[in-house]
Structure 1
Amino acid sequence: MFNISSRIVTRLCNSTYHISTRYYAAPPKRFYRKTGVVSSNGKYEITLDQRKLKTPKGLPFFVESEPLALAIATEWDAQKEVVDRSTMHLTALSSTVIDNPNNVQKSDIVNYLANYISTDAILFHSNEEKALKDLQKVEWDPVIEWFNKRYDVNIESTHGLEVPTFAPGTAMNISRYLSSYNEAALHGFMFAVDTIKSLILTCACVDRHITPAKAVLLARLEEEYQLGYWERVEWAHDVQQLDSQSRLAAGLLFVYFNSSDVFVKQKIAN
């Protein structure tokens, strides 16, 4: 696998302007009536009444995909009494791409994601509970097999905390695929992977092999299994599940809206 320093990993893990910790200050009240999108020279900006949106660094906020701009405007329009930025994943991802607060380069993200495979959540099967292990085999192994065929690799699951081993060229094949995406799309990849702790499940979603809802359930498989034996606090676990689905879906949309085929379709339509 590629070597990637702990400094870069820390930068990558904290590189998104996204609220992942609890804020104790009350969110600001909604200060605008209408949202809109304006375009100029292939760039799309978001307007709040007559004012154009800015990034946290005060830079002009713009994207190069009209569908993404419309989705971001919808995020702002969905805010009601207050502006809760913790629910505005596409806005946060776009601001991160523009401001790049930690000076992350495309190669950093590719290496981070390629290395993530060694800690991928669905590669670690239980070696203590046979029922759980059987469930993981039924639910996880087909996705792993799909990933191997799709990306021409040979990845196998492991047991307990045993670190998986990979054939030479595995990381290179994965990084070659990831490098085909632009830097903005890779930010969406990273956001999605960090949400469900699985590059394999994220790739399966990007290729539409499974749905985001299915991916979240697979990522939570052990937790859901344990809930079958212990009391379930329905509202708490449901909120966590829906939050993960929301974050994963946002990451996937960000990948799609920043991919070349979207721009090609726009040009053909024009």
Structure 2
Amino acid sequence: MADFAAKRFWKDTTVAEVEDGFTVLLDGRNVRTPAKALLVVPTKALAEQVRLEWDAQEGEIDPNVMPYTRGANAAIDKVRVQHAEVADMLADYGDSDLVCYRATYPQELVAKQAEAWDPIIEWVHKTYGARLETRSGVMPVPQDQTALDALRARVHALDEFELSAFHDLVALSGSLALGLAAVESLHTPEALWELSRIDETFQIAQWGEDDEATAVADIKRKSFVHAYTFFHLTQK
């Protein structure tokens, strides 16, 4: 058994196929999650990324440089045991989706939002039969419940590993629609991230960059791209 409290004690790090998927072995010993469950992931490709993280450890194990392992742990220890609650939380983003709330001025920003986000709304309608309506200003206006129910069903259909990645895609972008576009590979992760940043990009163009805000945004961008990759590595 190995967990995040341990120091490196092994020489060989391998991937093995098991009944429910693939796992990582350290000198033949199972890797376990913080909750002591076997760390078993659905695909060999994802297991290989986990293996590489463990193989790169020297001395005390550092979870901060092991995002694939952390994602797998979250899927097994957290999302698996509260799948419905997590799915509902993420589906709720649809009722206040970033791409639906539009500025009323200046006209340049209004136009940029429409150009970037209208195709996403149309894609959601075409793909899921869910018509999301745009709103002007920041005051919340509920969406049609039939549309929300269709999107909720799609979110609930995700398994625990998919939902673990989907959580970051939605939470980081602020958009259920963009999260769904990510899982369906509508655009590259970088392009989707930029779509979530229309307002910020406009403000930077007007007033210039803030170094601290830029650094935070870059961390979020990298996390979004990682979540996109993690999701697609779970696909069999």
TM-score normalised according to structure 1 size: 0.74
Structure 2 unmatched runs, 5+: 1-5
Q: How far does residue 97 in structure 1 lie from its aligned partner after superposition?
A: 2.2
Q: Deviations over 1:38-61 (max 9, x none)?
A: 223343222345543221123322
Q: How far does residue 174 in structure 1 lie from its aligned partner after superposition?
A: 0.9
1:227-246 aligned at under 5 Å gives the runs 227-233=204-210, 237=214, 239-246=215-222
**Cα 1:159–1:94, aligned 2, differ >3 Å: closer, same or farther?**
same
Distance 1:218 1:82 in 2: 39
Q: Deviations over 1:173-218 (max 9, x none)?
A: 1122223322332222122111211111111121111111011111
Number of the residue aligned with 1:150: 127
Q: Which AA in structure 1 matches 2:23? A: E
Q: How far does residue 152 in structure 1 lie from its aligned partner after superposition?
A: 0.6
Counterpart contact for 2:80–2:160, Cα < 8 Å: no
Number of the residue aligned with 2:87: 110
Q: How many residues align?
A: 232
Percent of aligned pairs with the same amino acid: 25
1:158-237 aligned at under 5 Å gives the runs 158-233=135-210, 237=214
Q: Which AA in structure 2 matches 1:130? A: Q
Distance 1:101 1:42 in 2: 17
Q: Deviations over 1:208-246 (max 9, x none)?
A: 111110111111211111111223246862x44443333
Number of the residue aligned with 1:60: 38
Greater mean alpha carbon deviation, residues 138-147 or residues 78-87: 78-87
Structure 1 unmatched runs, 5+: 1-27, 263-270
Greater mean alpha carbon deviation, residues 128-137 or residues 241-250: 241-250
Counterpart contact for 1:216–1:244, Cα < 8 Å: no
Distance 2:58 2:99 in 1: 38
Secondary structure of 2:202's aligned partner: helix
Number of the residue aligned with 2:101: 124
Matched, 1:37 2:29: no
**Cα 1:116–1:236, aligned 2, differ >3 Å: closer, same or farther?**
closer
